[in-house]
Amino acid sequence: GDVNSNVLVSRSTGDAQLDKAVWQWLSWDKNQKTKEQIESLLQDGKHRELRERLCCRLSFGTAGLRSAMGAGFCYINDLTVIQSTQGIYKYLERNFSDFKQRGFVVGYDTRGQVTSNCSSKKLAKLTAAVLLAKDVLVYFFSTYVPTPFVPYAVQQLGAVAGVMITASHNRKEDNGYKVYWENGAQITSPHDKEIIKCIEECVEPWNGSWNENLVDTSPLRQDPLKKICDSYMEDLTKICYHRELNVQSSLKFVHTSFHGVGHDYVQMAFRAFGFQPPIPVPEQKDPDPDFSTVKCPNPEEGESVLELSLRLAEKEGAKVVVATDPDADRLAVAEQQESGSWKVFTGNELAALFGWWMFSCWKENCSQDADVRNVYMLATTVSSKILRAIALKEGFHFEETLPGFKWIGSRVKNLLDNGKEVLFAFEESIGFMCGTAVLDKDGVSAAVVIAEMATYLQGQGLTLAQKLVDIYEMYGYHISKTSYFLCYDPATIKRIFERLRNFEGPESYPKCCGAHSILHVRDVTTGYDSSQLNHKSVLPVSRSSQMITFTFQNGCVATLRTSGTEPKIKYYAEMCAVPGHSDRSVLEEELQKLIGALVEEFLQPAQNELTWRSA
């Protein structure tokens, strides 16, 4: 109240737009910690930082809203979560006449930041409060859950939408707000744009929006935990094909949940498949918002972050390690080799194994009159084309989508509605969807499917790594490499991509890269594709992010794109050989050379001051 207005009058920043934003923040924010952050910036005259925090808004990326926790309109905090939820309420109320009766699902992970008095659970309570205050039925989980539980619950309970508060595998400073539609898939455009408009229309918190105790007192709040957990585990057994082997198996598994939500749920999933539960990594099994034993909570980073689980596995004589990321929607896998060293599989290698497995299991269990032409697998366009090779040989369909699982989820729902059968979908960043109980990536189901696969293969005298070689021998080697550069300057990123669009002159893309000639270019940002007769991209245009794919004469496909959730320029490259071309080392050398040229000539890391990821 009054104190603030006095502070403000005496401390105008000399910028009317900023003054208004400061005034709004100080009158609306009821979180003492974040309010103080803005007050002290104002008192210290730190106008530039105030501008950065208050004069821009959060926008929907590939995973909804994601940003650092802290004070300001472009950060994740109590106020911005309330604003986002008010916008979603408005949008859903316009779109569904039965919104209040059908209800809304709210889940959360275990992140938090003491300095901002901000935690996923608190943000989830505020999300629920906004809706409960407007008489909406809210399914609010009484404890943290894996991200896939939210889309699963939306479908099971017939809710109109759901939100998961999580920043998945991002650094500990971040949090996020992931929105799922009634079909159980993440929202795609145009919903995201429309929701942002609705958020802009009602930025001031409504009366009941700050009442986080409503989840404990409102009769409209239901706890879906037991029902969803039981139903999820039961649905999971539909993709369990060798229960009798699992029950007798002597194979040991180690599981790490990376200080996140995964422990209890992976234990349950293993039991549902008839396994002994996996051995947990004690230092990482309980939630810890500081992720104190890993330098970053992303299992994709490989051996460096899997240190504790690999040492435990050696001690326990476990041959396979499964790692779920903090919100348990992604899965990393490592296997001990003959030599004693560990092989950490890439997302693309795991997809080759999953694709082979899910199709073999389908073939063995399908009815006599089942038509393989009714069967589908999907991958995002920056992922390995190994499923395409398997599909060509086996007769099922393979489809590609834009990067981001939200595109896969929507497409799968569409295929299912048209009577098709979808067995598996993936993205190379270790996101897997086995079966269609959840229309999003799911690390819990993927972990237990890998365990069953390893058990089955052990009975055949094979390891996962040996089976992978078999698959490549049969369907053709697919060798891929993915990495990234960090770039914190949006202008530099834009310049890099604009240079590629006007490489040989205005609006002409590069014709070669080093010694490698380019056959086709597809630019999803602008909708151009030189391989199509009309030069129009088949994938939908997405102007908000940068993405260009080059197909080379030698069969290599390479993509450069910006990340939707982090300050990264990512590159993906893959050599696809036909079956019988099994000289792996020649292919690897060729790929290495091409990536070298791609990075040097197209990204120019030295002059653009890009930092390569320190692997």
- Residues serving a catalytic function are 168
Classify residue 264 as exposed, middle or buried by CB count within 10 Å of its CB (0-12, 13-18, 19+). Answer: middle
Exposure string for 345-376, b = 16+ CB within 10 A, e = fewer:
bbbbbbbbbbbbbbbebbeeeeeeeeeeeebb
Q: Backbone phi, then psi, for 19, in 5-degree steps?
A: -55, -45
Specify which residues 397 forms β-bridges with. Answer: 376
Residue 190 preceded by cis peptide, ω within 30: yes
- Structural contact between residues 591 and 573, judged by C-beta atoms closer than 8 angstroms: yes
Specify which residues 68 forms β-bridges with. Answer: 174
Listed in sequence order, the residues at least 6 apart from 88 whose beta carbon sits closer than 8 Å to its beta carbon are 161, 163, 179, 195, 198, 199
Residue 529 Cα to chain centre, angstroms: 27
Listed in sequence order, the residues at least 6 apart from 13 whose beta carbon sits closer than 8 Å to its beta carbon are 19, 22, 42, 47, 50
Tokens of 33: 């910690």
What angle is formed at CA 515 by the lines to CA 513 and CA 516, rounded to 5 degrees?
Answer: 60
Tokens of 5: 């207005």
Reported as type and span, the H/E element at residue 364 is helix 347-365
Tokens of 386: 């190994």
Q: Tokens 């759901």 belong to which residue?
A: 162
Secondary structure of 434-473 in HEC code, one letter for each residue? ECCCCCCCCHHHHHHHHHHHHHHHHHCCCCHHHHHHHHHH
- Structural contact between residues 433 and 406, judged by C-beta atoms closer than 8 angstroms: no
Radius of gyration of the chain (CA): 25
Q: Backbone phi, then psi, for 148, in 5-degree steps?
A: -60, -20
- Structural contact between residues 297 and 326, judged by C-beta atoms closer than 8 angstroms: yes
Q: Is 224 helix (H, G, I), strand (E, B) or coil?
A: coil
- The torsion defined by the Cα of 427, 411, 525 and 348, in degrees rounded to 10, comes to 10
What angle is formed at CA 464 by the lines to CA 462 and CA 465, rounded to 5 degrees?
Answer: 95
What angle is formed at CA 504 by the lines to CA 498 and CA 505, rounded to 5 degrees?
Answer: 75
Listed in sequence order, the residues at least 6 apart from 540 whose beta carbon sits closer than 8 Å to its beta carbon are 402, 524
Listed in sequence order, the residues at least 6 apart from 3 whose beta carbon sits closer than 8 Å to its beta carbon are none
